[in-house]
Amino acid sequence: MTNSSNTFWHLENIDVTHLLCPNKLGDDKRMQQHVQKSFRKNERIYIPEDQSDRIYFITEGRVKISSMSDDGKEITKAILGQGEVFGEQAILGENKRHDTAQALEDTQACVVSLDELRSLMRERSELNLFFMRIFGARQLEMERRLESLVFRDSRSRIVEFLINLAQTKGARVGYEWVVRNFITHQEIANLTATSRQTVTTTLNDLRAAKLLTFNRSRLLIRDLEALKAEIKSVK
């Protein structure tokens, strides 16, 4: 059973698929502005300075949200999957995109215009609550990542990321936690401001200690509490 109450990036317990997913819109002609779009692997969905007038609901695939630092280095902000939303900054008055959204694999998304979404939000209170939770949760996640960058060493940042990944996107099976569609070592490195080599070394060490196992398709944490004990603060 997934730990929905602590999910940062998911829909939590609010079902808005009947409003945003085109295959559940029925015969309501007002909803025909909702468009299902396909994006090829590595295709950029939007880039900085694009018009910010649409919100995307991922129905299949994965999307990376990133930005560029002043020295030209890519900063990965989030990797989102099925059931997650991006482009939501448009609701807060963003006129032009500041980030890049790129499909990490073949992806499908329901695209809703900002005007249509605002109309729906006036009529459906659950949509307002849904986006309030998204904004609040993502702000908390950014603060957590900043604190981790300041107060944790590289290895501890990776361990903390794995724990958070399990608790927000994983499923608890007995005493173990399973994360399906485990992301790549490079993606973990990008999200934790570490190197791919450090991620690989850390994962192999944790596997040797029998705290977890992993492959390309899943991560299995055998003892979450023991894994938490691996986190150390920078002195």
Give residue-wise pLDDT tens across range 176-219.
999 988 999 999 999 999 999 999 999 999 999 999 999 988 99
Is position 37 within any domain?
yes
133 and 24 in a common domain? yes
Task: Determine the average pLDDT of the residues in 159-185.
Answer: 91
Identify the domain boundary among 84, 109, 141. Answer: 141
71 and 127 in a common domain? yes
Is position 51 within any domain?
yes
Give residue-wise pLDDT tens across range 68-116.
888 888 888 999 988 889 999 999 888 999 999 999 999 999 898 988 8
CATH of the domain at 19: 2.60.120.10
56 and 135 in a common domain? yes
65 and 161 in a common domain? no
Burial (CB < 10 A; 0-12, 13-18, 19+), residue 48, is exposed
- Please tell me the predicted confidence (pLDDT) of residue 7: 36
Domain around 221: 152-228
Identify the domain boundary among 90, 110, 141. Answer: 141
Q: Which amino acid is present at 118? A: R
Nearest one of 234, 150, 221 to 192, comparing CA atoms: 150
Asked whether the beta carbons of 179 and 166 are under 8 A apart, the reply is yes
78 and 15 in a common domain? yes
Residue 207 to residue 223: CA distance in whole angstroms = 11
158 and 93 in a common domain? no
36 and 136 in a common domain? yes
120 and 55 in a common domain? yes
CATH of the domain at 167: 1.10.10.10
Is position 234 within any domain?
no
Task: Quote the percentage of the chain above a pLDDT of 70.
Answer: 84
163 and 114 in a common domain? no
Identify the domain boundary among 113, 141, 169. Answer: 141
User: Cα(first)–Cα(last) distance of the chain, in Å?
Assistant: 37
Is position 146 within any domain?
no
Is position 147 within any domain?
no
Give residue-wise pLDDT tens across range 30-64.
445 568 899 999 999 999 999 999 999 898 999 99
Residue 63 to residue 203: CA distance in whole angstroms = 24
Q: In what order do the strands lie in the sheet with 218-221?
A: 171-173, 176-180, 218-221, 212-214
State how many domains the chain has: 2
30 and 50 in a common domain? yes
